Amino acid sequence: SQKIEQNSEALNIQEGKTATLTCNYTNYSPAYLQWYRQDPGRGPVFLLLIRENEKEKRKERLKVTFDTTLKQSLFHITASQPADSATYLCALDGDDKIIFGKGTRLHILP
């Protein structure tokens, strides 16, 4: 069956460290992967998109990798700050629509 999984429901990281979130998928062949941030009671906000022919993408303190062999994307936040605490969603294009993972709730501890 087709699945998109974010392996941690919640993750606690000490301030200043790098937070790494994982997104794995099964039985999809996405042309791209997206990462979103969602704060409680708010709609998701687009952060980064990485295409299948790109290995890595960066935006300020954010870095995303995409390994089509492992069927995995990693999302890194370097020098993490308490303000980075939120739920992070990965999404991919599958079956003519965007499919979302359940998200990882990230807590940056001061």
Partner 1 sequence: GAVVSQHPSWVICKSGTSVKIECRSLDFQATTMFWYRQFPKQSLMLMATSNEGSKATYEQGVEKDKFLINHASLTLSTLTVTSAHPEDSSFYICSAPRWVTDTQYFGPGTRLTVL
What is the spatial distance between Cα 52 and Cα 31, in angstroms, rounded to a whole number?
5
Provide the mask over 16-35, with x wherever binding to partner 1 is found by CB under 8 A and - wherever it is not: ----------------x-x-
Nearest to 24 by CA among 99, 86, 77: 99
Q: Closest CB to partner 1 among 15 and 52?
A: 52
Residue 28, classed as helix, strand or coil, is coil
State the pairing for strand pair 86-94/104-109: antiparallel
Rounded to a whole number of angstroms, the minimum distance from the CB of residue 51 to partner 1 is 8
**Contacting partner 1 (CB under 8 A), which of 41, 53, 69, 83?**
41
Show contacts with partner 1 in window 65-104 (CB under 8 A): 89, 93, 97-98, 100-103
Sequence-separated (6 or more) residues with CB below 8 Å from residue 43: none
Residues that bind partner 1 (CB under 8 A): 32, 34, 36, 41-46, 49, 89, 93, 97-98, 100-103
